[in-house]
Amino acid sequence: MTENTQLLIPAVILAAGEARRFGKIKQLMPWGSKTVIENVIYSAATAGLNPIYVVLGASAALIGEKIANWPVIALINPDWPEGQGSSLRLAAQNLPDNGLGMLTLLGDQPQISPILIRAVALKGFESGKVTRPIIGDRRGHPVYFPQVCLGMLRALGSEQSGRDVVRAFPNEFLPWFDETMALDMDTPEDYEILKASFRLDG
């Protein structure tokens, strides 16, 4: 694979959570001319990942309506109250056995750049290891899970998460020096800080 080719690596955007701390459907908050979730989809597509899955749970109808015209495959997770592990399990169960693994993105990180997404995907594909960026002293997203991880992902129990899979397989870290890529929007205050970092009013 080169930097100009489409990556036949599935992107899995995790957007099933209830966002209690935020108090609103944060995936539908404005981010420039798009919503937060639309910008995550746009970045994954621009990075060349294909296909793109979006895992929905809480607020599935409203988010699903917003992304209906995007070239994505929506997966509805009825077990979303179990946590993120249930969304990873559902996504992995819908991937082919002979695929190239999957790269996971958070549905509330609209600032993650296509350049970072593609860099993690390429490094992960080349190394065959669980791969993620390391930003300062923080381990960030996206996370690439190679095909060898799919069996464990498909069998995740209700008390398990992606961290269990990360710990079970060899890891590769990609140093990244843009600290804005590590920001999140768990609260309205986080959202305002994130927008200010990118000089966004909406």
Decide the pairing of beta strands 143-145 and 171-176.
unpaired
CATH class of 11-197: alpha beta
pTM attached to this predicted model:
0.95
Q: Going by C-beta distance under 8 Å and a sequence separation of 6 or more, which residues neighbour residue 144?
A: 9, 101, 102, 103, 104, 120, 121, 123, 124, 125, 130, 131, 132
Decide the pairing of beta strands 73-76 and 102-106.
unpaired
CA 120 to chain centre: 12
pLDDT, tens digit (0-9, with 9 covering 90-100), for 80-103: 999 999 999 999 999 988 889 999
- What is the largest distance, in Å, between two alpha-carbon atoms of the chain? 44
Check pLDDT > 60 for residue 118: yes
**Token code pair at residue 151:** 């069996």
Tokens 């955007």 appear where? 13
Separate counts of helices (H) and strands (E) for the chain: 7, 10
pLDDT, tens digit (0-9, with 9 covering 90-100), for 139-196: 999 999 999 999 999 999 999 999 999 999 999 999 999 999 999 999 999 999 999 9
Domain ranges of the chain: 11-197
Q: What is the pLDDT of residue 6?
A: 76
Check pLDDT > 60 for residue 69: yes
Tokens 């294909």 appear where? 50
CB–CB of 107/54 below 8 Å? Answer: yes
Q: What is the pLDDT of residue 99?
A: 82
Q: What is the pLDDT of residue 86?
A: 98
